[in-house]
Structure 1
Amino acid sequence: MVYLSRLFSPLAVLRVLLFLTLACILTGTAWLWNRGAHNAVPIAMPHDYKPPEATSHPIDHLMKKADTEWFKLMAKETIDLPSAARAYRKRRGRHPPPGFGKWFQFAQEHNAVIVEDFFDQIYHDLAPFWGIEARKIRREAKQFEQVISVRNSTTTMKTDQDRVWMNLWHNLTATMQEWLPDIDVPINVMDESRVIVPWEDINEYVKAERDSRGIVPRPEVVTKLSGLEDVDDNPGEPRDLQWVKGVAYWDTARVGCAPDSPARNVEAATDFSGPPPVPSGFPERSYEGYVQNWTAAKDPCLQPELRETHGTFVEPISQATTHFLFPIFGGSKLPMNNDILLPPAMYWTHDEFYSGGEWHGGTWNKKKSQVMWRGGATGGRNKVENWTRFHRHRFVSMVNGTAVQMAEKNPEGAGQGPNFILQSYKTYHLTATQYMDLGTWLKDIADVGFVHLVCFPETGNLHCPYTDPFFEVKEGKPMKEQYHYKFLPDLDGNSFSGRYRSFLKSTSLPIKATIYSEWHDSRLIPWLHFVPMDNSFVDIYGILDYFIGTGIDFKTEDGKVLTEGAHDKAAEKIAMAGKEWAEKVLRREDMLIYVMRLFMEYARVCDDQREKLGFIADMERNDLG
């Protein structure tokens, strides 16, 4: 009796129960691991099974915050000329430019969504030029080697050879030439942006613009531009812009950063061997690891580590930068650049390579719940001594299941590959890694690879001796085929990505990482129209874990098949919101409206009477023209 009382004592019973519970957990976990690794048939859960209640995730917070930002922005929409002109004066501190009435008419006739904030990029780009003599701007602009000009509603082009980009921008301008003032527009035909003026100089130029603001009394307002007859009659000599070449681009660029910025006094890196450094925890300025300030996330002045983690600063393909303020127009630029942005030429083309044609994907529930990326190993001139620091190479490796598995098992350094270092799974609290290793999960959800290796020295697109051991060249996928996948990462190439607009217009979800600015930035809200990603890519696993989940499916009581941990509806919401919005504000018509407004403002900046020039017809009771 004593023996039996000990055997069935409360403590003994508790031990037995704990043992049995642990055994069940281990058996079940092993079975789930095997099911997850092979993407098996959906698990039949008990009829009384209920998915665990979702706890608040940082992305939930960021999506709600984006919704609020959207409502605040759309509250500013203007629907008639007087309200548009008032919104202009309030935001810009001066009268609208001559021709504003015609511009608004054009926008209305093309069913544009008109919010004054959408044009902020124009005023950011042109503000410094108010600190330069108007005559100097217009005379020097005419003499540049690549110029698109408008005279008497007729567009012409000057170029040294036939160039696709020049032809496209010429066509864009000619499409609305009857609405435009006389202008000379110097064009950047390189991938890389061209103008970086020291921050101290730009600060003085921008101060001059602020000091020039004022609502000129109506009797003193000049309503017509002076024209360009003086430069046509006496064009003068081209300006020597003293192009900077052959210098570490980081050192050329950082002079455009504010003196107290983290990057301003950090010299260019010289050792590009091995994987780049990664954050020990969450990226700075993130919200629990995820991008919350898109402007800051793109700014190299705030992230000196980009000097050794992005191809633009490791070694660009070409470099010709001036430190003089000069009006060069192009499709993208770094935040410290002083180029003037146009919609990229690739956004104007009908080439299906960039657009995928008119079809932008089927319904969400028929897409593969996977990540798709194809592209070249571009981003700069990768060589044997620096390729491990290139951003595209790093992304492809970090999302390749085999490469990640090899890094996880690396005996010399757990989590380290040749060009990346994995953070601890615990940093982003990944659900998937509770059931399988990271590499196994990625093999199931990612189809990512290079279509050519762009080696230096050139050895052919399909072969590169120093990267051959790490990358398998994959067959390209036309844009139409990429739209069969739910998740489309978009990465910088030698500059911006020419596919971004088409990704936004698709029924798939763009995941965007970039250090480049474009014309449409003030129109798009991250976490509402697209998913932003840090340029270190450390958040990619957290992003995919949130949206795709474990890849392990189960059946609910009502027969629905769900994926554990997945927020598929949230992904669909962003994808559809981005598509719907792009079809309203990123149309070809919207590019025309943006450029027309830009050229009207540029023509005013080039006019000697610019401080008195303005549009005031909305202030006349009987004349709204």
Structure 2
Amino acid sequence: MWPRVKHWFWHWPSRLVLRYITILFFAGFFITNYFLWTSSQGWDVAEPNGPVTFGPKHPIKKLMVDARARHEALLAKRSYDLNDAAARYRARRGRHPPPGFDKWTEAALGSNAILVEDFFDRIYKDLTPFWALDSQTIAQRAASWHWVVRVRNGQATGQGNTTNRVPWLQLWTELVTEFSMHLPDVDMPINYMDEPRILVPFDEVAKLVEQERTNRRMPPVHEVVTGFKGLSQIDAMNPQLYEPHWFNRSDNYWDLTRVTCGPNAPSRNVEQISDFNTPVNYPSGWAPDYTYKGYIKNWTAAMDPCVQPHLREMHGSFVNPMSLSTTQELIPMFGGSKLPMNNEILIPGAMYLTVDEFYSGGENQRGPAWHRKKNGIVWRGVASGGKAKSYNWHRFHRHRLVQMLNGTTVNAMEHQDSKAQTFNFPDAEIYKNTRHTENRLGKWLKKFANAGFISRQCQVEPCEYLDPYYAEVDSMPMKDQYKYKFLPDADGNSFSARFRGFMRSSSTPLKATIYAEWHDDRLTPWVHFVPLDNSYQDLYSVLDYFTDDEVAGDTAARYIAERGKEWSEQVLRREDMRLYVWRLLLEWARVCDENRHNLGFIKDLIDPQR
């Protein structure tokens, strides 16, 4: 009987197909690992800004290998039980965990969260200066703000007038409601603007940070207070709204920003340019420390305007922001994104909490398998990022991205010696792009790129000054964008809010930004997404690497797409956003408690077997 069954198994058509699929799967797996993670011989790490060498020694390959090693080292710190999580907390934070840490850890482990203490570094960076302020003062100001997610007796409510406003307060309140029964009384005042609003000068923040460091302590067990005092005293006071001094549109945002940079930072003493009507002044001799042979190796520095004074004239947030209402006083305020030097307390952007397919692409939409995708890059959006006018539009980041992906423009630059308004060709000594050196980049982009504005958002209609360069195009749902292999993400008035959708798709996200978000510490560039410089000088060569070689480059792009999707489904879930805000509010409630220096969780120390 067995020979007949065996004969049937291998000759039945569906089994034959299955057999070949299995063979192809393992072949693809081994090819991927061969091209990405084999020999690194020949990489010239001693000359980080030298010319690029293509093929298997391309610097992107080294960056991917190094990034994978960092990511695996991070995962090695994962906690699997309460005792381990509490011990890692104390070692990294220099304090006992806050009361309620056991319930939080139980929820994290119960939801299969990847529990790595480093993933929460942003919370402590954001809260550190508030430890140096009077606890009752910040509690009063938090309670009396215009829009507040308020928790009392385990119930969360949204307080504030939201008439004709986006439903951010509702979305954040709904998230907090999911775990409010485990919270002490606490107030989360929120920023209802796109743009961040707090820019405290560097010297003042440095003093607050030093004061926090000096006062930080881990009291002995017998001195620890394990319960929050609550906010009944604050509520009885009925605190009045506190409004600091607000700078407005008559002020220069770059000059407010640069004083938050350290005294030796390149941008600290560089004033804003006086004439935006002039051509864009690209940085000369461009070889920043945050790159390796022209490609991003330090993502944190690549986002930081303090080390890139040229961004003052190359990003809409500094050229002419859409709105400006900024204070230099440290007040409590929570928001979805901020510049690295802003002092808001980060929470997941409200748009990440909506099921609106405009941002998410749909909960069940991830795009087709890699081999079925269009080999191309797509971008759709509005010409946001600030108020682009006739004399300054060529300095805006979204305008630069769209024009750089315009094959007609690039072709004219190659063959007719014309100039683009928003960009120059990258330095050929750093970026040896084969398509550009052969003057076929424009021709290739005509087929490869599909980028355009669905609205030019002209400040004065009609805007004939944009007519020669940008025609409005039809919108494209994100689920249709997922049919392309490459998805660039560009800042809007602040963050773009589409990045989570891009990460969860089956395409390769390319990201350039100056805005920090809650998830930055849990994503690894060159493993989960492709980092780009805010000048986009690396854009063409990045695309060249991933597309010129149909085996090595395409395999590398597919690896990032698939690893990013897989990882986002583990660390960017709603459950993960809930856990982040839950832990943040435990910490914030402690900062606002008059017993904050003695407040802590110590059950694991009293009962180690717990």
Matches within 5 A, 1:474-489: 474-489=473-488
Partner of 1:247: 251
Deviation at 1:421, TM superposition (A): 1.4
Structure 1 residues 369 and 282 mapped into 2: Cα distance closer, same or farther (>3 Å)?
farther
Matches within 5 A, 1:204-353: 204-245=207-248, 246-285=250-289, 286-353=291-358
**Structure 2 counterpart of 1:296, one-letter code:** A
Deviation at 1:265, TM superposition (A): 1.1
Unaligned residue ranges in structure 1 (runs of 5+)? 1-51, 550-562
More moved, 426-435 vs 479-488: 426-435
**Structure 1 counterpart of 2:316, one-letter code:** G
Structure 1 residues 449 and 274 mapped into 2: Cα distance closer, same or farther (>3 Å)?
farther
Q: Give the Cα separation in 2 of the matches to 1:602 and 1:171.
A: 19
Deviation at 1:622, TM superposition (A): 6.6
Structure 1 residues 157 and 53 mapped into 2: Cα distance closer, same or farther (>3 Å)?
closer
Normalised to the residue count of structure 1, the TM-score between the two structures is 0.86
| Count of equivalent residues | 553
Asked if residue 615 in structure 1 is aligned to residue 601 in structure 2, the reply is: yes
Structure 1 residues 518 and 621 mapped into 2: Cα distance closer, same or farther (>3 Å)?
same
CA contact (8 A) 1:274 1:419 kept: no
Partner of 1:443: 446
Partner of 2:137: 136
Partner of 2:585: 599
CA contact (8 A) 1:431 1:565 kept: no
Q: Deviations over 1:499-524 (max 9, x none)?
A: 00010011000000000000000000
Q: Give the Cα separation in 2 of the matches to 1:142 and 1:433.
A: 57
Deviation at 1:284, TM superposition (A): 1.1
Q: Secondary structure at the match of 1:510?
A: strand
CA contact (8 A) 2:283 2:310 kept: no
548, 552, 563: which one aligns with 1:577 = 563
More moved, 508-517 vs 472-481: 472-481
Deviation at 1:346, TM superposition (A): 0.5
Q: Give the Cα separation in 2 of the matches to 1:547 and 1:199.
A: 40
Asked if residue 568 in structure 1 is aligned to residue 569 in structure 2, the reply is: no
CA contact (8 A) 1:191 1:495 kept: yes
Q: Secondary structure at the match of 2:488?
A: strand
Deviation at 1:54, TM superposition (A): 3.1
CA contact (8 A) 1:406 1:417 kept: no
Q: Deviations over 1:29-61 (max 9, x none)?
A: xxxxxxxxxxxxxxxxxxxxxxx9934001011
Normalised to the residue count of structure 2, the TM-score between the two structures is 0.88
Aligned-residue Cα RMSD (Å) equals: 1.6
CA contact (8 A) 2:82 2:604 kept: yes
CA contact (8 A) 1:282 1:288 kept: no
**Structure 2 counterpart of 1:138, one-letter code:** A
Deviation at 1:272, TM superposition (A): 1.3
**Structure 2 counterpart of 1:254, one-letter code:** R
CA contact (8 A) 2:490 2:496 kept: yes
Q: Secondary structure at the match of 2:176?
A: helix
Q: Give the Cα separation in 2 of the matches to 1:580 and 1:439.
A: 34
Unaligned residue ranges in structure 2 (runs of 5+)? 1-52
Matches within 5 A, 1:179-190: 179-190=182-193
Matches within 5 A, 1:517-532: 517-532=516-531
Partner of 2:465: 466
Partner of 2:97: 96
Q: Secondary structure at the match of 1:567?
A: helix
Q: Deviations over 1:548-570 (max 9, x none)?
A: 11xxxxxxxxxxxxx56861000
Partner of 1:38: none
Q: Deviations over 1:535-583 (max 9, x none)?
A: 000000010000011xxxxxxxxxxxxx568610000001111000000
Partner of 1:387: 393
CA contact (8 A) 2:373 2:483 kept: yes
**Structure 1 counterpart of 2:477, one-letter code:** P
More moved, 565-574 vs 98-107: 565-574
Seq. identity, %: 50
CA contact (8 A) 1:274 1:388 kept: no
Q: Give the Cα separation in 1 of the matches to 2:443 and 2:86.
A: 57
Q: Deviations over 1:439-464 (max 9, x none)?
A: 1121121111111100012x2xxx63
**Structure 2 counterpart of 1:505, one-letter code:** R
CA contact (8 A) 2:86 2:604 kept: yes
Deviation at 1:433, TM superposition (A): 3.4
Q: Give the Cα separation in 2 of the matches to 1:449 and 1:489.
A: 12
Which of structures 1 and 2 has the bigger CA Rg?
1
CA contact (8 A) 1:545 1:565 kept: no
Q: Secondary structure at the match of 2:464?
A: coil
CA contact (8 A) 2:317 2:494 kept: yes
Deviation at 1:282, TM superposition (A): 4.3
